[in-house]
């Protein structure tokens, strides 16, 4: 515990000592006066308690109140939602499907914008969009307006590489390029560091069409302590999209999205329409961390002192008919 005005503690000690000495002196004079008048002082335990307790409470309040004036503070663990969130958007052609109105991508953009609006300033939000390749369109920032603008700029085209999206998001979190070994060897996870306060929120229909192995990329994120929360955008019934004059059927692949989330300790969230999708993002669990912050304790000290003063005054008035 620290104090802004430590000299006040010395004043508290002196005032308390003087108050106790004064009270003791007053009691001795009263006892002497009673004896001189031919009255024996009351010595029963109950009478002593009734006589001294109100004043003891008042005296106890004095050092506590003065200590509060010294502005005490302590470093306490304060829980808060904090860290980095990468919103990763599937902008492939399949996201043009309208089985989620007005389209999968538009519904995902609306839900993600609401998610960003709900985040406190302690959460930095970044945006990655991906089709065949992945691109960081907004670096993590506490200016959530920039993240929302990046979300609204997304347009759909091309194929889908969820694995590449995860690697780019992971590289953004770690601050270094991240890739899977080309020869199928186990990746070196020691250089990634550990990022338990980072979360990737993946919006996709799960229609993976190529690129780095998705589950291997998820395992790499898990090794770095990064959770992936997946949001399924689409329906099991699916829809059709027109690509180069052809009508292509597309459905929601819940199995892939569920596996990606579970590998990292995250969860899969699914909703079949835009309203439900927006509600789903509110259930996404970010990291609750704690941080040591200085907390001023003046109010608790003052409250305790006032409670003792009030109790002492009440007992004094009730038992003796006077405040002091």
What is the share, in percent, of the chain residues with pLDDT greater than 90? 42
Give pLDDT tens digits for 36-93: 766 555 566 776 777 777 778 878 888 888 888 778 887 776 656 678 999 999 999 9
Percentage of the chain beyond pLDDT 70 is 86
- Give the closest residue to 4 by CA, choosing from 54, 67, 46: 67
pTM: 0.67
Task: Report the interhelical angle of 45-69 vs 298-320 (nearest 10°).
Answer: 150
- 295, 78 Cβ separation under 8 angstroms: yes
Distance CA 276, CA 272 (A): 7
Would you kindly state where each structural domain of the chain is located, as residue ranges? 2-75+294-320, 83-286
Q: Was domain 83-286 assigned CATH 3.40.50.410?
A: yes
142-150: average pLDDT:
96
More confident residue, 138 or 101: 138
Give the tens place of pLDDT for each residue, 199-238.
999 999 998 988 999 999 999 999 999 999 999 999 988 9
pLDDT value of position 250: 92
Q: What is the pLDDT of residue 321?
A: 67
pLDDT in tens, 155-170: 999 899 999 999 999 9
Q: Residue 188: pLDDT band by 50, 70, 90 thresholds? A: confident
Residue 191: predicted pLDDT = 86
Q: Report whether pLDDT(22) > 90.
A: no
pLDDT tens for each residue of 172-181: 999 999 999 8
Q: Which pLDDT score is estimated for 15?
A: 80
String of DSSP letters for 218-235? HHHHHHTT-EEEEEEES-
Instruction: Give the per-residue pLDDT at 304.
Output: 86
pLDDT above 80 for 135: yes
DSSP character for 121? T
Residue 125 vs residues 73, 116, 300: alpha-carbon distances, Å: 32, 7, 36
The DSSP annotation for 106-123 comes to HHHHHHHHHHHHTS-TTE
**187 vs 194, which has greater pLDDT?**
194
CA nearest 253: which of 72, 55, 95?
A: 95
- Report the pLDDT averaged over residues 179-187: 79
Contact call for residues 225 and 189 (beta carbons, < 8 A): no
Residue-level pLDDT at 144:
95
The mean of the pLDDT values for the chain is 84
CA–CA separation, 189 and 204 (whole Å)? 26
């Amino acid at each position: 515990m620290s104090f802004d005005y430590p000299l006040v503690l010395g004043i508290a000690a002196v005032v308390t000592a003087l108050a106790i000495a004064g009270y003791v002196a007053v009691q001795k004079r009263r006892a002497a006066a009673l004896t001189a008048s031919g009255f024996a002082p009351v010595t029963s335990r109950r009478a002593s308690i009734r006589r001294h307790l109100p004043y003891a409470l008042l005296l106890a309040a004095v050092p506590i109140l003065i200590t509060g004036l010294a502005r005490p503070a302590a470093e306490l663990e304060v829980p808060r939602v904090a860290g980095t969130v990468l919103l990763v958007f599937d902008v492939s052609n399949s996201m043009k499907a309208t089985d989620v109105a007005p389209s999968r991508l538009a519904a995902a953009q609306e839900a993600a914008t609401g998610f960003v609006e709900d985040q406190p300033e302690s959460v930095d939000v970044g945006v990655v969009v991906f089709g065949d390749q992945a691109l960081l369109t907004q670096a993590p920032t506490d200016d959530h307006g920039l993240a929302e603008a990046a979300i609204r700029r997304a347009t759909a085209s091309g194929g889908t590489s969820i694995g590449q999206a995860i690697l780019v998001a992971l590289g953004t979190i770690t601050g270094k390029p991240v890739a899977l070994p080309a020869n199928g060897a186990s990746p070196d996870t020691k250089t990634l560091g550990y990022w338990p306060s980072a979360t990737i929120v993946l919006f996709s229909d799960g229609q993976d069409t190529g690129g780095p192995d998705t589950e291997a990329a998820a395992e790499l994120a898990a090794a770095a302590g990064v959770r992936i929360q997946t949001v399924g955008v689409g329906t099991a019934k699916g829809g059709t999209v027109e690509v180069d004059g052809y009508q292509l059927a597309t459905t929601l692949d819940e199995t892939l999205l569920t596996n990606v989330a579970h590998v990292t300790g995250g969860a899969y969230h699914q909703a079949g329409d835009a309203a439900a999708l927006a509600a789903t993002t509110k259930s996404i669990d970010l990291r609750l961390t704690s941080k040591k912050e200085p907390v001023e304790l003046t109010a608790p000290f003052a409250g305790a002192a006032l409670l003792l003063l009030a109790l002492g005054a009440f007992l004094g008035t009730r038992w003796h008919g006077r405040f002091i």
